[in-house]
Structure 1
Amino acid sequence: MNIQEYTGDTARAVAFLSRIPVPPSFFESYDGKLTRISRTFPLAGLLIALPAAIVFGILLAFHADPLMAALLALAVQTMTTGALHEDGLSDMADGLGGGKDRDRALAIMKDSRIGTYGAVALILSFGLRAAALAAIARGLAPFAAALVLPASAALSRGAMVWHWYILPAAKPDGIAASAGKPDYGAMQGALTIALALSAFLLWPCLRLPAFILYLLITAAAAFLLTRRVRQRLSGHTGDTIGATQQICEIAALCTLAMCV
C-alpha cells in the first residue's frame, strides 16, 4: 500500500464526508471520482467522529448526565458531518414510505422538502442513538464509552461502501453514479479497515462473543436495508448510501448498549 496515496485519499474522503477543512493541495489533479477513495471511508469516519468522542468523554469525566452528554455529542457529530447522512436517511424514508412505485419514490427522494416519514426517521435516529450512548455511558468508564463513537463511525462507513458496491445505480444520471462506484478491491479494503478499527477500539471493553454479535447485527442491518432498496428502487442512490450509514450506526450502538 502506498502510504502517501492512502493519506491523500483519506483527506479527500474526510472532505467529502464532513465539513472539516482540508488543504487544497490534496485536490490538485483530482478528478472528483470516489471509486478508489471509498476504501478510506472507515478511517475517515473515525477521524470525523473524534470531536464528538472527545466531547462525550470529557462530559462523562465531569459526571454530566449520560443522556445530556449523548445528545451534545450527537450535536457535535451532526455539525461535523453537516447532517450529510441524516439527510440521506430522511429522504430515503420519505421516498420508500410515500412512493407507490419506483419512479415516484425516486422523485420524492430528489425533493429537498422533508415529509412525515423523513421527520419520524430523524427523530428515531437521534433518539435511539442518544438512548444507546447513554446506556453505554452508564456501563463503561468515560474513555471507553467515548471510543464507541469512532468505532461505530468506522464500521457504519464500511457498510456504506458495501451497499454502494453491491447495488447498481438506480439513476444513471444521478450524483452517486457520476461519482463512480467502488470496485471489489476498494470494497474489500473498506470492510477490512472497518473491522480492524472496530476491533482495536472496542477490545478493552467488549468480550469476543459481544463483539461478534455487534458485527452480525450491524451486517444484518446493512443486508436487510440493501435488500429493501433493491426491491423498491432496483439500485442505490446517494440517499440510500447515507441512510445505510445511519441504520448501521443505530444498529451498532444499540447492540453495544445491550452488551456492556
Structure 2
Amino acid sequence: MSKRYLVKIRYQWQLFCLALMFFSQLPVSKSLPYSEKRMNRANRYFSLVGIVIGLLVCLSYSLFDHFFSTHLVIILTMITSVYITGAFHEDGLADMADGMGGGYSAEKRLTIMKDSRIGTYGTVTLVLSLLLKFQLLVELEQHSILMISVVFAYAMSRAFAASLIFDTPYVAEDDSSKSKPIACQQSGIDLMILLAVAFLPALLFPWLFVGFWSLLLTIIVILLLLRLAFRYWLISKIAGYTGDCLGAAQQVSELIIYLVLIHHISNTGVF
C-alpha cells in the first residue's frame, strides 16, 4: 500500500476519532489534530460513532443481565449510556425545551439555551423522555430485540440529527456559549456516508421475515416527515439550529424509532 493511501486512511481515522471525541467520553489521543474544517468533515462519521456507542451499551446490558432483574438491568444500561456520552444529547434536549418553552423571541430563546442552568421545561421534558425510554427498552427486551434495536436506533438517530447540518442554517453562538465546537457545514458526500453507515445495523434484523422492508420504509418515511417538520419549526423559532437542537433531535428520533419498532411487533407479532 502506497504512502499516499496510508495518509488518506490516517486522515479518515483522525476524523472518526474527532467525531468520537465530540459525541462521547471515550478516550482518544490528546494530540489529535483539530480544525474547524476537520470538525465539519468529521460529521460523516457521527452515525458510525452511534454504532460504536450502541455496541458498548449492549455489552454493558449483557454483563448486567447476568446479575440483576430486567428493570434494574435496563436502568443500569441507561446509566452506562449517559456516562459514555456525557449526557451530551440529554443536555441538548433539556436546554432546547427550556429555550423554546421560556422564550418569546428568537434572541431570548437562544439566550436561555446558552444558560447552563436547567429550568422547569427542561426538567419536565428530560424526566418524561427518560421514563418513556425506560418503558420502551423494557418492552423491546420482552420481545428479545433490545440490543439490535439499540444499535440501530443509536446510529439512525445520530444520522437524523446530523443530517440537519446539510440544509439548515447554523445559528452562530457567541463566546459565552457553553457548547462544544460543532460541525456547521456538510457536503453531499458527507451526508451520503452518514446515511449509508446508519443503515448498516438494519442488517442485524432478521430481514428475510415478511414485513421487514415495509417496517424499514415506515421508519424512513416517519423520520423524513419528522425532519421536515422539525427543520421548519427550528427555522420559525430561532432561524436555524444550534448544538442543543441537534442533541434534542437525536433524543426525539431515538424514541420514535423505538415506538415504531414496538408498534410493528404489537401489530404483526413477528421479528
Equivalences for residues 60-71 of structure 1 within 5 A: 60=65, 62=66, 64-71=68-75
2:64–2:76: 8 Å Cα contact kept in structure 1?
Answer: no
The separation in 1 between residues aligned to 2:216 and 2:61, in whole angstroms, is 22
2:220 counterpart of 1:215: yes
2:197 counterpart of 1:193: yes
Question: Which of 25, 42, 47 in structure 1 is aligned with 2:47?
Answer: 42
Indicate how the Cα distance of structure 1 residues 155 and 178 shifts in structure 2: closer, same or farther if over 3 A, else same. closer
Equivalences for residues 230-245 of structure 1 within 5 A: 230-245=235-250
2:88 counterpart of 1:84: yes
Write out per-residue CA displacement over residues 82-117 of structure 1, whole angstroms, 9 at most, x where no aligned residue. 000101000000111111111111111111110111
Q: Structure 2 regions of 5+ residues with no counterpart?
A: 266-271
Letter in 2 for 1:123: V
Letter in 2 for 1:23: S
**Partner of residue 138, structure 2:** 134
**Partner of residue 119, structure 1:** 123
2:23 counterpart of 1:17: yes
**Partner of residue 169, structure 1:** 170
1:93–1:121: 8 Å Cα contact kept in structure 2?
Answer: yes
Indicate how the Cα distance of structure 1 residues 222 and 53 shifts in structure 2: closer, same or farther if over 3 A, else same. farther
2:243 counterpart of 1:202: no
The separation in 2 between residues aligned to 1:211 and 1:63, in whole angstroms, is 34
Q: Secondary structure at the match of 1:36?
A: helix
Write out per-residue CA displacement over residues 219-245 of structure 1, whole angstroms, 9 at most, x where no aligned residue. 333332222111101111111011111
Shift of 1:217: 2.4
Once the two structures are overlaid, the 10-residue window that deviates more, 234-243 or 208-217, is 208-217
Higher Rg of the two aligned structures: 2
Shift of 1:216: 2.5
Write out per-residue CA displacement over residues 199-230 of structure 1, whole angstroms, 9 at most, x where no aligned residue. 22334587222222223223333332222111
1:168–1:234: 8 Å Cα contact kept in structure 2?
Answer: yes
Letter in 1 for 2:167: I
The separation in 2 between residues aligned to 1:114 and 1:63, in whole angstroms, is 35
Equivalences for residues 99-118 of structure 1 within 5 A: 99-118=103-122
The separation in 2 between residues aligned to 1:177 and 1:59, in whole angstroms, is 34
The separation in 2 between residues aligned to 1:4 and 1:200, in whole angstroms, is 28
2:259 counterpart of 1:254: yes
Once the two structures are overlaid, the 10-residue window that deviates more, 177-186 or 155-164, is 177-186
1:35–1:186: 8 Å Cα contact kept in structure 2?
Answer: no
Q: Structure 1 regions of 5+ residues with no counterpart?
A: none
Indicate how the Cα distance of structure 1 residues 93 and 44 shifts in structure 2: closer, same or farther if over 3 A, else same. same
Matched residue count: 253
**Partner of residue 269, structure 2:** none
TM-score normalised by L of structure 1: 0.88
Letter in 2 for 1:89: L
**Partner of residue 268, structure 2:** none
The separation in 2 between residues aligned to 1:46 and 1:21, in whole angstroms, is 16
2:169–2:241: 8 Å Cα contact kept in structure 1?
Answer: yes
The separation in 2 between residues aligned to 1:96 and 1:154, in whole angstroms, is 26
Shift of 1:187: 1.7
